[in-house]
Amino acid sequence: MFLGNPSARVRDELWQMAVAKAGRGSVIQLWSYPCPQGYRSRAHNASGRELVDYEGLALVRVHARPVRANAEAKTESQTADGNGDKNGADRGSDSSLATE
């Protein structure tokens, strides 16, 4: 972490050094800027996060994590053998609601 008020040139050099040394890690840089929020930012390898500008407001968008194949297979097998529902009933077709 570095805290200070460097020039734009020094800020860019610090960014290049941090990105080069980050490897698989993440780097986020914030600096003061004359805009409504008062700062600008940039990120490298933000691990499922993205810095976005929404009508002048800086927000962090978190991307949904993909569902693992093992969790999906377990859910499907529970549904297929009836263990997914405690009562063993098929909730999709309730015969008491059927009309003839």
Q: Supply φ then ψ for residue 41, to 5 degrees.
A: -150, 160
- In 3D, which of 86, 92, 71, 8 has the Cα closest to residue 42? 8
66 exposure class (CB count in 10 Å sphere: 0-12, 13-18, 19+): exposed
> pLDDT (tens digit, 9 = 90+) per residue, 40-96?
888 888 778 887 888 878 888 888 776 776 655 555 555 555 555 444 444 444 443
pTM of the model: 0.54
